Structure 1
């Protein structure tokens, strides 16, 4: 089983490298895919805890995670004032990723859609 998991990992990495070489050099915003992945993983982990934890503890943990995520996003965007239009692309993409995942519960769809929104907005509407 471990061999198959390693084979899948290596094969996926090789396929990503080959497909990544086909992406034109001027495309910006693909780095958001990693952010979208972690948003989807966090939402899935919290969703899995619903039946295991008391409601008050789940609410407390959700509030703590919200504070930590807000601090991380604020730190990441500290050099980019939210009043600038460039900050709208990652914020809109985060909203699309989280909203779509909460609605459809499809990790791949959420990550792809959030990344597509970020690439579209960062490369066109909110380009530097």
Structure 2
């Protein structure tokens, strides 16, 4: 890509990002209440996205070949335990990720 192509691409990405960030503020004013469907989606989408991420993360796990999904299972258990104890989503996700990375790099080396 030439410098001009890169500049156009970056500009398009910036405009697209700004449009998605600013559009809700233009559509819904501060004084009016958002529609019920928007309120509903705001309540249910975070859990749906987390569920989708879990399914996507585990889609390629095979129980029939080594390491039989053990790193994933141990990382999920660590994540759940930390979340139940600390109730901090960022800490839970970081712990699960670190445990998984340590397990696949150090313990379950092929």
**Fold shared, TM-score > 0.5 on shorter chain:** no
- Structure possessing the higher relative contact order (Cα contacts under 8 Å, 6 or more residues apart): 1
Bin of the TM-score, shorter chain as denominator length: 0.3 to 0.5
| TM-score normalised according to structure 1 size | 0.38
